[in-house]
Amino acid sequence: CSPENKVNCPRALLSASLQLARIQTDSVVEMLRELYPNLRFEIVAMSTTGDKILDTALSKIGEKSLFTKELENALERNEVDLVVHSLKDLPTSLPPGFTIGAVCKRENPLDAVVFHPKNCGKTLSLLPEKSVVGTSSLRRAAQLKKKFPQLEFRDIRGNLNTRLKKLDEKEDFSAIILAAAGLKRMGWENRIGQLLSPEDCLYAVGQGALAVEVRAKDQEILNMVSALHDANTVLCCIAERAFMKRLEGGCSVPVAVNTMLKDGQLYLTGAVYSLDGSDSLKETMQTSVNYPQRNEDGPNDDVQHVGITAKNVPGQAQEAAENLGVELASLLLSKGAKHILSVARQLNDTR
């Protein structure tokens, strides 16, 4: 597609080395094709730093834009027009000139346990003492160490296929923890041996949601992808991202959330943990997001809330969701969250 032809042939970019990334991008492009049958979409594949570094825990690499930098470079150079991400991979502050133009309807955000074939039918509580459970997430490890002190938790890296292969073909792990959404998108729901409820394990900010990143000033593309916004998912994820941003969290510290939207009320539970889970703070707050959509064109038309531009979701509701996240984080900070997270960050750096 030539740049002049851009509007007739938008180019979508994905992270190449992941089969999951292809499936996610295909699902977004398929939704766009249904909405815009006269447009032809071209999919471009590219590898990212996060895809290439498979022997180090994500929390140790220290690069905030691990899965996004190369993709955003292509977007900036006009080589592509939109980039499909897992929302949980996107930092809460995007580089200037970019915005999240769509947040698609969220898949199940919970974490799932996949067991070694010999442990089929078991749950984490039924695994023998000292069983090794693999996870690449400090957040999961911190919560589950506290809940299941009889188990050992170790880093496991690689894409979904690689991690499942490590589990099935070796005896190193009794089980591994993965996002249920990724397993479902890959068609591997049958491998889920246990879904972890929010009581067992709060999930990551944005987990289960797909985001479409675009150039902030590209109105044609922004208008096109905005039709993919799911209002409930947008409001939940704005609250979660605002919570994370206020805490200055990331993959190098254990921060976790759970959100629910019911009868116009948005409920946000947020927590911070020490690396071993022994120290933690957890609170829940709620706010009303029951506001009508205003059809006012004005200078704040394209206002961003923690990197998300959603013109078709009531602006007052977005503000309320963002304020909820900020207020909940401020409450935790007033109770000592900064100390817990700074100690966790320091310990992670020295591991």
Q: Which residues are catalytic?
A: 89
Inter-axis angle of helices 231-247 and 315-334, nearest 10 = 30
Coil, strand or helix: which one is 310?
coil
Q: Could you give the CA distance from residue 263 to residue 211 in angstroms, rounded to a whole number?
A: 25
Give 204: exposed, middle or buried? Use CB within 10 Å, 0-12, 13-18, 19+.
buried
CB 247 within 8 A of CB 255: yes
Closest CA to 269 of 210, 214, 205: 205
The number of residues in the chain equals 351
Coil, strand or helix: which one is 195?
strand
- Say how many CA atoms lie within 13 Å of 196 toward its Cβ: 27
The encoded tokens of residue 38 equal 């006269």
The encoded tokens of residue 64 equal 């905030």
* Residues in CB range of 18: below 8 A, 6 or more apart: 51, 159, 160
